[in-house]
Chains A and B, each alone.
Chain A
Amino acid sequence: MAGLTKTKPTPPRWLLAELTYACPLQCPYCSNPLDYTKYQNELDTEDWKRVLTQARKMGAVQLGFSGGEPLTRQDLPELVKHARELGYYSNLITSGYGLTEEKIIALKEAGLDHIQVSIQASSQELNDHIAGTASFNHKKEVAHLVKKHGYPMVLCVVIHRENIHQMPEILAMAEELGADYLELANTQYYGWAHTNRDQLLPTKAQFEKAEIIAQAFKEQVAGKMKIYYVVPDFYEDRPKACMNGWGTTFLTIAPDGVALPCHSARELPGLDCPSVKENSVEEIWNESKAFNFFRGTEWMKEPCRSCDEKDKDFGGCHCQAYLLTGDMHNTDPVCSKSPHHGVIQAAIDSAAASSLAENEKPLIFRNSKNSKLLS
């Protein structure tokens, strides 16, 4: 492993504070771990303040309040205020559920910079089905209020086989709601999305059609709205540069205080991810086994080791290598140079067969009951 590298790592820039795994929604592609119900012991307000202070001192500047649904934490305004005093740029990543005009104003006064609202589809019926909760009209109302109170607004729509045909309507909705940024996030297949992949993964033809529509829209709204397009990596032949390189930029703190190099890393075996209850952020970032595990290129096997693109994509995503090949040290199988690349086509074929089957398996929604069944 690369823990032997003696050069001091670059400091964290991005802190993702997963305040809670509690969420009123049940999205079947949730990136939280399947066994999230095991981790009930949430950090308290003072723990979070200490973490924010320590990470800021190291140089973290972008801060995401996420979850679960971060609005379920009653101390959110207090944490936002602390973050603002430290000089963070605070992003609230929310479903909008439970967000009122009163709270939007209170968070603005506390110093919140930006609110990202997720919408699951462009129609009420599909949104409420995917979210597992009647929430569509409230989300649209929240989007209007976010704009009304002067926040930049990011609308986030996770794209998958159930809603990809709505791409034109999704774009029209973003324009109608006055989004400053639209994040079109093709589903990444970890956590719950991995479990539901046969029901969620679109065909290549569906992807390409949606991408052409989104690209044309991007040119049409240039200067008014920015589009963040999260690529569907199953249809790429090179892997994503996961987390901008392991332990270089991103620090995630899970609700129970476990520090993760990426928000999915909890499912990797043997990392011994440290906790902010026992160690300072600086010790965790610079010295822990978990954060040093995939730093640099020493850990690489072939074909990564001799690849001239290894400094560009860092071997891709370790969680994907683990989930799809059983070994997190392997090259991300999305890469066409990977000897395991065939598993990607097999996954695509399996999803296509599932979509044509007479009795398609139902989606497994993200809720406590299913979490307990699956863990």
Chain B
Amino acid sequence: MSINPELPIQFSRTHRLQWEEAQQKNVILYPEGMVELNQSSSEILKLCDGTRTLAQIVSDLEAAFSTSGLTNDITDFLEVALQNGWINQN
């Protein structure tokens, strides 16, 4: 299973991404489980809104953080997210 560069990526409808005040971090919630996210993972997932493709997510984040060369890190993370069912492409 890998990311299709042609298709937009969306966050799973059966998971929930939310800010946890007590933990001061974003988490993914799903049946009987929780994953704590670091800041960069949260920023990537917030852009998985069903309108952006992989290339658009990369260029938006590179612009937002005034940097370049994020393609590999973002692709690796999204592959993991896809394997875990946090995101999907239809």
The residues of A with any CB-CB pair to B shorter than 8 Å are: 11, 13, 58-59, 61-62, 64, 87, 89, 91, 113-114, 116, 150-152, 154, 180-181, 223, 226, 228
B56: interface (CB < 8 Å): no
B22: interface (CB < 8 Å): yes
Cross-chain pairs A/B with CB under 8 angstroms, 13 sampled: A11-B22, A58-B22, A59-B22, A59-B23, A61-B20, A61-B29, A87-B18, A91-B31, A150-B13, A150-B14, A152-B30, A154-B31, A223-B1
List B contacts of A150 (CB < 8 A).
Answer: 13-14
On whether A180 and B83 interact (CB within 8 A), knowing A59-B23, A61-B20, the answer reads: no
| A24 smallest CB distance to B (angstroms) | 24
The residues of B with any CB-CB pair to A shorter than 8 Å are: 1, 13-14, 16, 18, 20, 22-23, 27, 29-34, 83, 85
- B32 x A154 contact (CB < 8 A): yes
- A116 x B31 contact (CB < 8 A): yes
List B contacts of A61 (CB < 8 A).
Answer: 20, 22, 27, 29, 34
- B32 x A62 contact (CB < 8 A): yes
On whether A180 and B20 interact (CB within 8 A), knowing A150-B13, A223-B83, the answer reads: no
Complex CA–CA separation, A108 to B5 (angstroms): 34
Complex CA–CA separation, A64 to B31 (angstroms): 10
List B contacts of A113 (CB < 8 A).
Answer: 16, 29, 31
List B contacts of A181 (CB < 8 A).
Answer: 31
Complex CA–CA separation, A113 to B14 (angstroms): 8
Known contacts A114-B14, A180-B31; can you find 8 more A-B pairs with CB under 8 A?
A61-B20, A61-B29, A62-B32, A87-B18, A89-B16, A152-B30, A223-B85, A228-B32
Complex CA–CA separation, A91 to B33 (angstroms): 10
Most chain B beta-carbon neighbours within 10 Å: one of A61, A89, A181, A223: A89
Complex CA–CA separation, A54 to B20 (angstroms): 15
Complex CA–CA separation, A114 to B12 (angstroms): 14
- A59 x B83 contact (CB < 8 A): no
- B14 x A152 contact (CB < 8 A): yes
Closest chain B residue, CB of each to CB of A60: B22
Most chain A beta-carbon neighbours within 10 Å: one of B1, B20, B29: B29
| 4 closest Cβ pairs, A-B complex | A59-B22, A89-B29, A152-B14, A114-B31
- B34 x A13 contact (CB < 8 A): yes
List B contacts of A13 (CB < 8 A).
Answer: 34
Closest chain B residue, CB of each to CB of A228: B32
Closest chain A residue, CB of each to CB of B83: A223
